[in-house]
Structure 1
């Protein structure tokens, strides 16, 4: 009898758990299966990274080619990170507008965390109360129409200096390197707006400062980031140290801290000569001095340094690059250049010079800026987002913790929306009420939704002024021995920015200005 009792006792726990097991099984069977976007085959550990980084081609072009096979919504894997690639206006609209709140954070990155003092900036900070407050402060104090207008004299003075520097080249019919000149111009403008003085008037080492900014740009974006962002921690840790990436990030982050802290200390020196206009460091230090906590954004020096890094990375390279593309397109489209020059010169009349106020009337010039940003978006891939919760796009499931890239380059060349998308035709904007404020999802040079670039007005105003001055004061031609067709519109990538591969050399011929 005892022999039979023991096996029965052993069955009791199983019988008690059986209803629970059946319930769990039923839930699993009835659970709807997720429908993920199409995905190319991936490799162990690296996922689809080999398809992101194919040699001889830009990342945005590689992703566009993949989208021709797998569709406007693809799920790839950057190592261990699921990554959604968006290549159509409709998919962008459903993501950035309809589901904006689900995907308005940023993916974690060891590089951006270290260079932005633990995500104290605007661009790379994850979505939350701190980001909302620091963005609100910067939009109100720096990027508002009033804030941008307050620095108008600086922009105009620096552009005039550049125009004057072309005098010798114009007199001798020698070419000027517009790539170099426009980058130097934007560096000078942002430097004066931020620090209140020119490079020559500051104690900062000019060349070293610019080098650190370029290193920061490359490290914060793309595949110059840490391997630990993509691979399992133990593997990524080893790769970053063997490759020297960890040491390089340490060096650059120390340099960023040193340069910006020196600028802050200079502004805090007793007896410092007050400038006629407040610069951005003054504005931010004033908020620190108030010591008034605004939500989660209790400002200190590290917050200021992180915001300053954003201003330089977002204000110098992208705007200068867009201007180079614009002048390259104008040099190869003489009809467009002459039409723009006629508009500008008729507008200014006998004044002899174009100002920011004049640009409000230059509608064709505005079309040229839009067409440049359509055909050559400075950031072909919008800065990556990260999803915070589940949602659907084009009927596909998107899980939390998915990285999202919007291929603006592909969307802006989609023949479904744009006739002759590869051609430079500013007139295409003549009968379209299209702007770049994130409401037209076939044209997103500054992004859309909560993460739209806050510096749109400053960028557009600066680009229009520079172009107006260049086209008003000079006629432009290619150097002797070249034809317009010899200017190759080949791309190269620096960080998230696509630049003209070869320096743009053009000959300025003085008109009158």
Structure 2
């Protein structure tokens, strides 16, 4: 009898569960209806969808392939502890960056990004809100306005002339081919630094290397970022520690840039003081502490400088590298753009920014380059601030959202022969860089659209036109147009994996010029 009582007591919880389970399930359904998450690939316990991504560092390609296989313009992934939604169609991108723009206006700060946030956040990563609005106003009105971008014209023309002189000196008749990829990086970096600090930066090469290493760490889907609650995973990946180290190094170098800027101003007297650069503007705003702008900390100023340099330098050199690679791979397009540039500038010895308005086909070439090779193919991830829906699918609060601009720009539903390089496709079409047509969003769209597009495009147009005007380009012996390697590599941007080597013969000699600053 006693044994029966103990057995009954032991079975009682199971009996209650059997009888009460239907009621509990009904109550849960009434209180929280099940989410209709977007479709996605099959998942494993604990790691979720990570196994689909680990073998290929080019995540934009992997995610585009997964979305295509799942027939999912809005795709759900579970990456470790993170909910992730990937958008791969213009309609879905419109909902993220227009219909629900405020909901998705904050950046997704992973563990690696949060580890460096204490030093200060610039416009790119600052969460949406009043602070972000202040920083955007500083950038759009004070630093990157049309008037200020135009004021940097002498710098752009000067550095472009130096690039032409360097290539001409490195390519004597019958000599070795020149590494055009490497030749582009330094003058473009110098142009950005001169716009920011008034002169070339003494530690330019060290800065470029540190920035490249830091962004490589942050650009991947790191284990520590996928399991932010696990100290063990964060320790194993080491990305947080490495990112902090490179971030400290970069901020130290920016300190050197600010000091070098101050020394130049002190040595130059009234003339240097009257020549305002971007650091001048930021320090003035900090000193004035006006009602229009809340006070800027020195950490925020450094973060803004870092944003401006990364956006204005690396994206520019990468886009020009892709454009030259595509032109060499498509000789008929190269011939057409050469004829346009040389006809428009036939009575001059160099290209000036006044000539750019006459280069219609060149602008189509740049648009097509950015369609096929957007510098940030997944843009910058956003974080959902409130539960909402995209194309009828639920997106929970806290979800990371990636917009695959690379996949959208190659979608055969919207682009004829999407893999072909055809600048003519933009002829007579109202595509621009303002993000109003979500089939074409190389600079993003909505509140978080890149404010530095005009700054970057001014360099891209001038340098590309100048290289086409002054030189005839030929492949090394035995290399054919179809041999041009378009393999990608993750870096500060997605750039060509292999440098492009070309023979450059001078078609129009550059006139004598004054020494650079």
TM-score (norm 2): 0.88
What is the alpha-carbon distance in structure 1 between the residues aligned to residue 460 and residue 168 of structure 2?
22
Matched residue SS, 2:112 = helix
Is the counterpart of residue 121 in structure 1 residue 122 in structure 2? yes
Deviation at 1:268, TM superposition (A): 4.0
What is the alpha-carbon distance in structure 2 between the residues aligned to residue 80 and residue 244 of structure 1?
18
Is the counterpart of residue 448 in structure 1 residue 445 in structure 2? yes
Is the counterpart of residue 213 in structure 1 residue 211 in structure 2? yes
Query: How many pairs were matched up?
Result: 482
Alignment of structure 1 residues 94-243 onto 2, 5 Å: 94-117=95-118, 119-174=120-175, 175-199=177-201, 202=202, 205-223=203-221, 227-233=223-229, 235=230, 237-243=231-237
* Preserved contact between residue 54 and residue 62 of structure 1 (Cα < 8 Å): no
Deviation at 1:118, TM superposition (A): 5.0
Deviation at 1:190, TM superposition (A): 1.0
Matched residue SS, 1:102 = coil
Matched residue SS, 2:412 = coil
Match of 2:296 in 1: 299
What is the alpha-carbon distance in structure 2 between the residues aligned to residue 434 and residue 191 of structure 1?
31
Alignment of structure 1 residues 39-438 onto 2, 5 Å: 39-55=40-56, 58-70=58-70, 71-117=72-118, 119-174=120-175, 175-199=177-201, 202=202, 205-223=203-221, 227-233=223-229, 235=230, 237-268=231-262, 271-274=266-269, 275=272, 277-292=275-290, 294=292, 297-438=294-435
| Residue-by-residue CA offset, 1:38-65 (whole Å, 9 max, x unaligned) | 022222332212212223x621111111
What is the alpha-carbon distance in structure 2 between the residues aligned to residue 388 and residue 324 of structure 1?
37
* Preserved contact between residue 111 and residue 228 of structure 2 (Cα < 8 Å): no
Deviation at 1:31, TM superposition (A): 5.2
Deviation at 1:27, TM superposition (A): 7.8
What is the alpha-carbon distance in structure 2 between the residues aligned to residue 117 and residue 265 of structure 1?
22
Matched residue SS, 1:453 = coil
| Residue-by-residue CA offset, 1:422-468 (whole Å, 9 max, x unaligned) | 11010110121111110111111000001100101111111110111
Matched residue SS, 2:345 = helix
User: Bigger CA drift: 475-484 or 115-124?
Assistant: 115-124
Match of 1:3 in 2: none
Q: Which residue among 475, 483, 499 is the counterpart of 1:503? A: 499
CA RMSD of aligned residues (A): 2.2
The change in CA–CA distance for 1:40 and 1:505 in structure 2 (over 3 A counts) is same
Match of 1:469 in 2: 466
Where has structure 1 moved over 6 Å in runs of 4 or more? none
What is the alpha-carbon distance in structure 1 between the residues aligned to residue 200 and residue 503 of structure 2?
27
| Residue-by-residue CA offset, 1:204-263 (whole Å, 9 max, x unaligned) | x33322211112222333335xx4432152x2x223334443432232122122111222
Matched residue SS, 1:488 = coil
The change in CA–CA distance for 1:397 and 1:492 in structure 2 (over 3 A counts) is same
* Preserved contact between residue 227 and residue 233 of structure 2 (Cα < 8 Å): no
* Preserved contact between residue 40 and residue 67 of structure 2 (Cα < 8 Å): no
* Preserved contact between residue 38 and residue 74 of structure 2 (Cα < 8 Å): yes
| Residue-by-residue CA offset, 1:6-42 (whole Å, 9 max, x unaligned) | xxxxxxxxxxxxxxxx999668437543311002222
Matched residue SS, 2:105 = coil
What is the alpha-carbon distance in structure 2 between the residues aligned to residue 316 and residue 116 of structure 1?
22
The change in CA–CA distance for 1:439 and 1:213 in structure 2 (over 3 A counts) is same
Matched residue SS, 2:367 = helix
TM-score (norm 1): 0.89
The change in CA–CA distance for 1:360 and 1:505 in structure 2 (over 3 A counts) is same
